[in-house]
Structure formats: structure tokens, C-alpha cells
Chain A
Amino acid sequence: MAEPAVSLLAHPFMRNAYLAGTAIAVLAGLVGYFVVLRSQVFTGDALSHVAFTGALAALAAGIDARLGLFAATIAVGAGMAVIGRNGRADDVVTGTVFAWVLGVGVLMLTLYTTSNSTGNSAAGVNVLFGSIFGLSAGQARFAAVLASVLVLVVLAGARPLLFASVDDAVAAARGVPVRVLGVGFLAVVGATAAEATQAVGALLLLGLLAAPAGAALRLTSRPYRAMWLSAGLAVASMWIGLGLSYAVPRLPPSFSILAVATAVYLAASVGPAVAAVAGRATTAFSRPAPPAPAGAGERQTAPGSRTSSRARRADRPPR
């Protein structure tokens, strides 16, 4: 069991991928939790297109793609928050802006491929779909450090952000700077999008934001637990996905990461319903059994009540 893992990490490109991928997954899981909680998945979608345009603009201008990525996503993220009400962007405005940004991206792609006489349009595909196995050691370290800093920023603001996300009116009344938080949060989402673009590409980063967080929110309604669960699921998807692509070289890493994340989301959406049905069946069968003695019952109430509350949640009509 240990030997394949050792040979996996013996390759420098796999070490780089795991280093950058883990940090990016933690960040995407944490940020994604708030993105889903605040119903801003569409904004994340828009930022993914901005990432595409920003990176290609930088490439067309002949500078480091990361510079364009971060500048474009952070600026547009914060800008959308400023325009929108309460630091949240309206979805029609979002859609219109990013359709235009995408048009500009097409122009940049054309400019880049025509200006490069070598015809290197692989860069465009890399920006769209990621190239985590192509990261250099320096790029991987930079991505990891930046992701860690962003994780600390998110954790520092987690409490007021949670308050503002769940009930912005009450939070504003209690003196939480809702608007500033909203703008700051979208700036962080922008930076996360830029980070994740390096791992899974501009078009797929939405899955890394939405799938683990969506799964976590289905599994638990307790905020901090869901937040960490989301980060954990994102990391698990990243690790398993990278391992899969190493084992089956025909699978591109971005696909396997996203496929695992989607499977996790599916399991989390379907699982509780199945568990509820199964739970109902077992309680129906075990009902004639005599009540357990007091001492044993005491020990069993905690896990028992948890499963029943989960079953109750799953029983609720879909909202």
C-alpha cells in the first residue's frame, strides 16, 4: 500500500501538484462554503470567465499570466460587489458583464494566437482547463503560500461573514459592516478563482467551489462543521483525483478531480434520503423490541438522536 504512494510522490511534478492542489483545495472548500451559503455560485461562475480573459490578456500582452489572473478577478469581483445591492451582485448584471468579458476573452485569444507565430494555442486550452501537472516547483510553492494566506484571511473574517451571510439585516443592525464584508469577500473569491485556475482551469473551478460546499451543506446545517467539512471534501477530491490521473494517464487531472467532487456531491444529495428510508425501515422493524436498560440507553441517545435528526432533515419537503 505504501509503495505506490512513495512512487507517486517520487516524481517532482506530482509533489508540486499535491502541494499546490492541497492548498488550493482547502481555500476553495472554505470560500466555496460561503459562496454557496450566500447564493453567489453564479458570481463564482462569472469570475471563472474573468479569469480566462485576464490570463489571456496577460499572455497576449506578454506578461506573466498569473498577474493578469489576479488583477482581473480581484478587480471584477470587488467591482461587482460595489455595483450590487448590499455587496451582492444582481444575477442579470452578473450575466451581462461576464458575457461581455467572455467576448473580450475571445478577442484576446485571437490576438494571442495570431501574434504568436508559433501557433501556441495550447496556452488557451491550459487556461481554460488547467494544467496542474505542469506546475514548476516555484509556481507550486507560490500557489501554496498564497492559498495559505487567503485561508487565514477567510478564517479571520469567518464569524462576521457568517452572520452577514445568514441574516444581513440583523447583522447590519448589530454593527457588522455588511457592505464592506461583501466587497472584501468577493475580492477573496476573485483571488481564489485566480488560484484555482492554475489547478483545474478557468472553466472548471466552479466545480471546486460548488460541489464540496454543496455536499457539506447537505450533510450538516451547523456552520463551522459544514465549513471544515467542505474544505475536507475538497481536499479529498483533489487527492483522489490526482491519484486517479496518475494511475490512469489518459484521464486529465482536472477531469478526475471534478469527477470525484461530483460523485461526492451526488452521494451527499442522494445518501441522506436513502439513509432516511433505511432508518425508517429499521425503526419500524425494531419497534416491538423492549426498551433498553437505562444505562445503555444513556450511551445511545447521543448518536441515536443525531441520526434521527438527520433523518428528519432529509424528510423535510425539498425547498
Chain B
Amino acid sequence: MFAYHFMVNAFRAGTIVAVAGGLMGWFMVLRRQTFAGHTLAVVGFPGAAGAVWLGVNAAWGYFGFCGAGALLIAALPRATGGDRSHESAGIGVVQAFGLAAGFLFVSLYHGFLNGVSSLLFGSFLGITDGQVLTLLLVCTAAVVALALAGRPLLFASVDPDVAAARGVPVRAVSAGFLLALGLTVAEISQITGALLVFAVLVMPAAAAQALTIRPGAGLAASVVIAVGITWAALTAAYHSSWPIGFWIATFGFGVYLAASGWRRWRSRR
């Protein structure tokens, strides 16, 4: 399997994606921002489609749209307590309009069908050395930013009111997190496609939070699970004719089910 260079690159890229996605996803799940995360993942599609239509590098489209989407969502009035209906309606509108715009760009550009499915569902097996390097740089930057802002971010995520009272700039931290998430997602979705980046973000994190509530252990578990799923999925995709996206989602779902089953069994004893 490793005799092929494209598989080596797929493993390198997959590992980087898994580490960054596992860390970012853990905070996303903790902050109950799965819907925002999904929307950010999805707005990469119009970005890429628009870039292809205009004939510029797709990476600009991904970063531009995901970054703009993050700022837009951060500008929506943040819901506190039980009433989230306005915020979620706003996020939903951002997402649906983004996808509609993506569809418009794709239909204006006539290289129609293959383009859509590779933008939406990605292609793990055609990754170049240059792409791996960019991926590594962007994800390292995101992880370093996360490490630097980790403590206030954690504080603001767990209890925004107390954090605000203690002088943590909750709104700025929140906007910064969304922006970092958007940029990470923009980089990841160039590999996994706009629709499947969400699987890497949410599943390992959800499983990790079912296993432990301690932040350090949870972050570690999330990364380990993400890397494990990605390697297993790459191996399975290599040996079968089924797509990698299916394998990632299925292994992730299996781990999540096992983790929540284990938690239920533990709490019953």
C-alpha cells in the first residue's frame, strides 16, 4: 500500500487533517456550535465553485468564503440561554444561500458534473506534495493559535457569564474561534470535500466527550480517535471499491456509538 506515492500522501494529509479536525472539533462540540461548524464547512463549496468559475486558484475561494462566513456568523446576535431561534435561523439562511450561490457558480461554469461531486465529496487520492505542505502549515498555525488561546477559550466556552465577569473578552474569543475554525475547515475541505469535513470535525469530538469530561484527556482522545478513524478508512478504501467518505463516516459513527454505549453502561453501574 505504501509503495504508491499517492497513498503515502493520502496518509500524511489524512493524519494532519485528523489532528487539526480532532482538536478544533472538540471545542466546537463543547461550545455547542456544531451547526455553525457545519455551515462553515459548507460555505467552502460556493467559494471553490466561484473561484473555478472565475478561473482563480480554488484555495482563495475556500479561504475567502469560509473566513467571510465565520465573520458573518460571529456578527449574528449570539444566543444566550434557551432562546437560540433567531441565531439558528440566521445560520441556516447563511448556509442555504451559500449553497445556492455555489450551485449558481457551478451552472454558470460549464465543466459541470465532475466538478460538483469532487468539490462536495473530495478526492483523497490525488494529493500532491505541495498540498501536503500547505495543509501542514495552515493546520500547524491553527493548532498553535488554539494552544495560545486555549485557556480563555475553554473558560469562555464552559461558562461565558463568569468568564465575562472575570474579564475574558468573550465575544472576541468567540469570533476568533469561529475564524480559526473557518480557516481550518477551508484547508481541510480542499482534501475531504465540503460535505465530509464535518464528519472529521464532529464524530471524534462527540465520541471523546462521551468518554471523558476532562479537557486534556478529551482533546487527546479526540485526536487519537480521529487519527485512528482516518487510517482505518484509508486502508479500507484502498482495499475496497467504496469511497473513503463512506468509510470515515461509518468508522466514526461506530466509535461514537461504542463510546456513548460505554458511557451509558458506566453510568448505570
Contact = CB atoms under 8 A, between A and B. Distances in A.
Interface string B109-142: 0001100110011000000000000000000000
Given A36-B88, A41-B88, A109-B117, A255 B101 contact: yes
A258 B100 contact: yes
Interface string B173-210: 00000000000000000000001101100110010010
Secondary structure dominating the interface of B? helix
Nearest to A100: B253
Contacts of B196: 99, 102-103, 106
Nearest to A264: B93
Contacts of B44: none
Given A250-B108, A319-B77, A100 B92 contact: no
15 contacts: A38-B85, A41-B91, A92-B32, A95-B38, A95-B202, A103-B248, A106-B243, A207-B92, A210-B92, A210-B93, A211-B92, A214-B86, A214-B89, A217-B89, A258-B96
Contacts, number: 188
A41 B76 CA distance: 15
Interface in B216-259: 241-243, 245-250, 252-253, 256
A277 interface: no
A107 B113 CA distance: 17
Contacts of B256: 96
B103 interface: yes
Secondary structure dominating the interface of A? helix
A258 B112 CA distance: 21
Contacts of A250: 107-108
B121 A95 contact: no
A215 to B, nearest CB: 8
Given A95-B206, A250-B108, A104 B249 contact: yes
Contact of A99 (B92, B96, B202): B202
B215 interface: no
A92 B198 CA distance: 12
CB-based closest 10 A-B pairs: A103-B249, A207-B96, A214-B89, A210-B92, A318-B77, A258-B100, A100-B253, A107-B246, A99-B199, A41-B88
Q: Contact residue range for chain A? A: 35 or more
A265 B96 CA distance: 12
B100 A37 contact: no
Interface of B: 29, 32, 34-35, 38, 77, 79-80, 83-86, 88-93, 95-97, 99-101, 103-104, 107-108, 112-113, 116-117, 120-121, 195-196, 198-199, 202-203, 206, 209, 241-243, 245-250, 252-253, 256
Interface in A173-208: 201, 203-208
A122 to B, nearest CB: 7
Contacts of A203: 96, 99, 103
A214 B90 contact: yes
A255 B245 CA distance: 27
